[in-house]
């Protein structure tokens, strides 16, 4: 079972990977373009961590199960 901090880290690392792909001039243009298009609506690391913080608050006050975490550790 994936823990919220592991999922958070995976989403943040995926964003970083897409950024690398979009900037790598050695890759075909269609790959870089696809990465850029995905990044247009991809959450930033700060947004993912903020979502985790909100979910942690909900979990402390209601019957809520976290998807994300406010930390990657």
The token duo for 57 is 């608050």
Q: How many angstroms separate the Cα of 36 from the Cα of each of 15, 25, 27, 32, 70?
A: 11, 13, 13, 6, 26
With 0.85 as the threshold, say if the pTM is over it: yes
In this prediction, residue 56 carries a pLDDT of: 94
pLDDT above 90 for 73: no
In this prediction, residue 1 carries a pLDDT of: 80
With beta carbons less than 8 A apart as the criterion, state whether 50 and 41 touch: no
- What are the tens digits of pLDDT across the range 10-67? 999 999 999 999 999 999 999 999 999 999 999 999 999 999 999 999 999 988 888 9
Extents of the domains making up the chain:
4-61
With beta carbons less than 8 A apart as the criterion, state whether 5 and 69 touch: yes
């Amino acid at each position: 079972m994936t823990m919220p901090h592991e999922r958070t880290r995976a989403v943040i690392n995926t964003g970083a990977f897409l950024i690398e792909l979009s900037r790598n001039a050695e890759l075909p243009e269609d790959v870089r373009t696809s990465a850029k298009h995905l990044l247009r609506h991809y959450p930033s690391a700060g947004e993912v961590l903020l979502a985790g913080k909100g979910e942690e608050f909900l979990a402390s006050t209601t019957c809520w199960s976290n998807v994300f975490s406010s930390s990657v550790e």
